[in-house]
Amino acid sequence: MTAGEAPSGSAADDAYPEPCPGSYPQPHPEPHTEPVRPASAVRPFLLTAGRVAGGESLVPPIPVETQVVATSGGIAALDTFAFEHRDIVAVCQEPLSLAEIAAKLRMHLNVIRVLADDLRVDGRLTLHLPQGNPARDASVLRRVIDGLRAVPDSRGARRDY
């Protein structure tokens, strides 16, 4: 043992045990097609001016599976938006759910709810609410589970179990 080394069998050895081979899922063989953008360092309540989804009225929050698409006016005004509003309208040129928007932009889901509703009120986005009760539809739950398994973790590995 040299100076600066922890003695063998110490708590330092136990703090980070070696993982068993094969204990982590292997990375998916397909490369990522989109670069991962860093998460925002700005606090979510600053982006929404302290507002919360469904908090200002008795109207419930927008469901996560709601499909969102930019209007022609929103696309035409894309260059006039700042920051998050621009990003939301830009990714919504094709229909996406609120959950997909939050994942693509790496923003909190409730921030997306508030900002998307602001853009809807301004006529920049159209929201298409789901029909029926998706919580009782087994096919919707199966698609959600499959989608969650397809999301890579922080190491880029997919959860295929």
Domain limits at 143? 42-150
Tell me, yes or no, whether 128 lies in a domain. Answer: yes
pLDDT at residue number 24: 46
Length of the chain equals 161
Mean pLDDT on 18-44: 51
Tell me, yes or no, whether 6 lies in a domain. Answer: no
Count how many domains the chain has.
Answer: 1
pLDDT at residue number 126: 94
- pLDDT class of 72 with cuts at 50, 70, 90: very high
- pLDDT class of 58 with cuts at 50, 70, 90: very low
Instruction: Indicate whether 10 pLDDT > 60.
Output: no
Tell me, yes or no, whether 140 lies in a domain. Answer: yes
pLDDT at residue number 88: 93
Tell me, yes or no, whether 156 lies in a domain. Answer: no
Find the largest Cα–Cα distance for the chain. 70
Strand spans (E) along 19-73: 67-70
Question: CA 130, CA 63: separation in Å to the nearest integer?
Answer: 8
